[in-house]
Amino acid sequence: MSAVYSRPFSPHLSFSPYLLSASLMALSLAALPAWAQQQNATALDAVTVTATKTPHTLNEVPANVSVITNEDIEERAPSKLDDLLRDLPSVDIQGGPRRVGQDINIRGFGGQRVVTTLDGARQNFTAGHKGRFFLDPELLRQVEVVRGSNSALHGSGAIGGVVSMETKNASDLLNPGEKVGFRGKYGYSGVQRENYYSAGIFGRPDERIDLLANVSKRDSGTLRQGGGIELDNSAEDASDILLKTNLRPTENQTMTFSLIRFKEDGIIPTNPDAAPNATSNPLVYRQTEMTTASAKYVYNNPDMPLLAPTLSVYRNQLEVNEARQPPLTARLDDSLLTTWGYDAYNTMRFNTGSLANTVTFGTEYFKDDQTGLRNNAPRSTFPSASGRVVGVYVQDEIELLRGLTLTPTLRFDDYQNHSDNGSTVEESKLSPKLAANWRPMQWLSLYASYGDAFRAPNLTEIFVTGQHFFGNNFVTNTALKPEKTRTAETGFKLDFKNVLTEKDRLSFNSTYFHTKAEDFIEFIVGNTTTTNRNLTEATIQGVEIESRYDMQYAFGSLGYSRIRGENEQTSRPIDSIPADRAVVTLGGKLPDYGLRFGWRTEIAAEQNRVSNTNLSAGVEAAVVPTSGYVVHGVFATWIPQFQGFEGFRVDAGVENIFDKSYRRHLQALYEEGRDYRVAVSYTKGF
């Protein structure tokens, strides 16, 4: 856990969860607008595959899932993944406003306690304060966020949840009947003086193949925080290349190939979520390069219900070079992680007496190889090592009665970590899960689940050695055990049509979860040594609420989350728990003019539930309370409806419209100030 320093700036806010839950339920049933993202009616029918590895609408899965659609992404004109995820209940970004240090936190679990994938490729990189997301969010067509225990299907790391990202296809940009096209886009963000350029070509020679190639570049200047404060050493440049192909040899087969190349560089502090310091946080010229290659094969023939295989293969390589800046002595650190793996499974559909079964069984394998160098010599603080995980799993979606589905899942994983110095750690883990979903009426879904999850220690946690800082050295701990959680979850979902007007729609989702955690790995900084230990046993519980409303001329949405966590050994709060938070969006539409606009408000309560103590036998500073805040923004999308302007689109908005100075609980630095954003695109197909 990292220290966070505060300054007074905003009033204290607090929520009564019971009063708020009742109020939101009443509002939803009264058909008032709600939730956090600008949604349209089609978004309410979004399909998730990540939750069960079989396609279902959100109301059919026994889990709390959010899907960010292609339209959502276009409207937000995002410059970083934070712009897409920060409105979701129980989902927070940690690591500060600098893009290079950001990481995700779901239900109080951050880092590698959340599985993230890009076109099916695991993103496993972790190295002190270097972030985990390295891509242009404009390249994405969909993001699925599955909250809670998911190791039964996704193995090690799926404690907080799973974030699955998928890049755009040519079919997203071509209209029916068009064979080829191009797209250009320019965007500007005032708060970081960022220019964004993107150009793509795409084609569909026939119905069996489509192709896409896209290049993009971001040129960012110094970021401005709320109140006009400049965040020194925050300028950076980034570029992306995306190549993607979809092949359909027959109507029942699909093959997808994608290649993503990302590069980013800038002079930043070693820890991007803190101010630079010549001794403890020196400036470095950092270059990041990532190459992700993936391939996927899907066979789905309705006439062969016992054979529906899916095979995904990938290789992801990430390299970070950091050159220490004068006046300090020259030093070059190189961190390289290569991950490759596959996930192969088959889905069978059959009846057993009166029961309908959808059985998915498969195997997953991935391997991490990491190398750390300092001035071309081995670097023990990022030890050269390798680790592999192999898992087998089976899931049966059993339709007991019409509308009632019971889903037992079981997975077995074996992992092995090996250091170049000869040390080896190996262990296995069984992850069961049982879930049920009942739709007694078309507009009502009730669900519940109970599941185990785990996270295997990463290579650095086990094998790190060398100097941490002057007078303090890392100590290897090969006895680290995997972190484990047991999560119970229950909730209900409502979906109404034709509520106030014809063809309008209202949805509501409420979830309660309770997680018991064991053997959590803590980073212990002592007077002369630093090590990782299995220390914490904790309980985390919370409530999540989402609601959306959409009609011809108006829309609205609301999201709310309240989480509490306690370290059972110390009876003190857990510092990684985010603040109580609500996000409200209200907007209007003028379909005849292609105009959509709205107002967004984020309300965060004071987060004063902190441990107020140093770690056991450690000298690390305690996390301090965070004041509450209220931040507003406006947005508009214009798609011209008159002849001669077909293909044009303008997305604009102002984030933090009143230039509020505020800090999120999981960050040390203050957030971005007033941000004028605009993005203009032109898409043409032939």
User: Which string of DSSP letters, residue by residue, matches 298-362?
Assistant: EE--TT-TT--EEEEEEEEEEEEEEEEPTTSPP-EEEEEEEEEEEEEEEEEEEEETTEEEEEEEE
Q: Output phi, psi for 71, to 5 deg.
A: -65, -40
- Mean pLDDT of the chain, nearest integer: 89
Rounded Cα–Cα distance for residues 394 and 380 (Å): 39
Predicted confidence (pLDDT) per residue in 466-489, tens digit = 888 778 888 888 989 999 999 999
- Identify the band that residue 11 occupies on the pLDDT scale cut at 50, 70 and 90: very low
Angle (nearest 5°) at CA 114 between 58 and 5: 120
Q: Which residues pair with 390 in a beta bridge?
A: 365, 414
Residue 609 token pair? 């539930």
Q: What is the pTM of this model?
A: 0.90
- Is 520 a residue whose pLDDT tops 70? yes
Q: Which residues pair with 547 in a beta bridge?
A: 508, 558
**pLDDT at residue number 43:** 56
Cβ neighbours for 490, distance < 8 A, ≥ 6 positions apart: 447, 448, 449, 511, 512, 513
Q: Are 491 and 511 in contact (CB under 8 A)?
A: yes
Residue 439 token pair? 């739709």
By the 10 Å C-beta count (0-12 exposed, 13-18 middle, 19+ buried), 255 is classed as middle
Angle (nearest 5°) at CA 545 between 541 and 549: 170
User: Of 142, 122, 167, 152, which Cα lies nearest the Cα of 53?
Assistant: 152
Domain 17-685: top CATH class: mainly beta
Torsion of CA 1, 85, 98, 463, to 10 degrees: 40
Judged by phi (left if over 0) then psi (alpha if -120 to 50, else beta), residue 130 lies in alpha
**pLDDT at residue number 273:** 87
Lowest mean pLDDT, pick from 26-40, 159-173, 478-492, 563-577: 26-40
Residue 389 token pair? 């995980």
Rounded Cα–Cα distance for residues 434 and 449 (Å): 6
Torsion of CA 297, 301, 306, 308, to 10 degrees: 20
Rounded Cα–Cα distance for residues 456 and 417 (Å): 9
Task: Give percent above pLDDT 70 in the chain.
Answer: 92
Q: Please state the domain extents for the chain.
A: 17-685
